[in-house]
Structure 1
Amino acid sequence: MKYKNMLNYDTTVKVNPYFMNLAKVSELTKVSPRMLRYYENLGLIQPHRASNNYRSYTQKDIENIKKIKILNDAGMNLKDIHVLLPCFDLDERVFTLCPVVQEKLQTELKHVSDQLNKLQTSQSLLQSFLAKGKAESTNI
């Protein structure tokens, strides 16, 4: 029983979850420091600021940066990524249809349908002109 209280440790000690600086995150994610700052300016990531005003990144920040990179490499612009980011699960490669995204996709679908209708009308007119018109002689 003399070993009963040997492991006295302080449970009030808090571990700082912010553990990586800008250079280290840039190295890990293959995203330039300038682009990381740009992501921050756009509100895509929000690193913690230490008392010296240096950026500190968590593992969650790094995961978000990887998501941004994947979506950007897929051809999406950063404005759309800002909307889609909360709905994209990197680990599962799953896309959850958030209400905001659902609305955006419905709006885009309507736009595409309208464009398709205009193209079909144009196609019909061109076919009508060709069917009713006379072919011009090409005597040279």
Structure 2
Amino acid sequence: MKIGELSRHTGVPTRMLRYYEEQDLLHPGRAENGYRRYDESALHRVQQIRGLLDSGLTTEIIRTILPFLNKPDEIHLHPECLTPETAALLRGEAERIQQRIDCLARNRDAIRAYLAAVQPETAG
């Protein structure tokens, strides 16, 4: 499929798909006329990239771990892939994500407390 088709199927703008390619996250083939060509696996790959970006991971980290993610719920790790540097990078990201989760939970609780105070009958 062409880049426009991939964009329509995934909801990701073509500009972002080109950016993913620049960041070495997406690897389209090329047709004889030079147009980008994507196979069906690109649909899943773009969804993975979006999910990882939405969770707050950087493209650097995504580029490191993406080759080892087969499916959203499955990780295929080669023993040699987890270098001490990569492990430290991932530990740091896990801690940063946990801090964001904790902050979001505090904000959620504050919003619920406010709603309970001003609208006790609809709080919950």
Task: Please classify the TM superposition score into its range, dividing by the shorter chain length.
Answer: 0.5 to 0.7
Query: How many residue pairs get matched?
Result: 90
**TM-score, normalised by the number of residues in structure 1:** 0.57
Structure number having the greater helix percentage: 2
d(CA) in 1 for partners of 2:83, 2:24: 21
Percent of aligned pairs with the same amino acid: 30
- In 2 relative to 1, CA 109–60 (structure 1 residues): closer, same or farther, beyond 3 Å? closer
Match of 1:30 among 11, 21, 27: 11
Unmatched tracts of structure 1, length 5 or more: 1-19, 111-140
Which structure has more relative contact order (CA 8 Å, sep 6+)? It is 2
Aligned residue in 2 for 1:10:
none
Which position in structure 1 is the counterpart of 2:74?
94
- Cα deviation per residue 1:1-43 (whole Å; 9 max; x = unaligned)? xxxxxxxxxxxxxxxxxxx111110111111100100111111
Query: Greater CA radius of gyration, 1 or 2?
Result: 1
Cα deviations across residues 36-74 of structure 1 (Å, max 9, x unaligned)? 001111111111111111111101122211111111111
Equivalent residue for 2:53, pick from 72, 83, 95:
72
The corresponding residue for 1:84 is 65
Give the TM-score normalised by the residue count of structure 2. 0.63
- In structure 2, stretches of 5+ residues that fail to align are 93-124
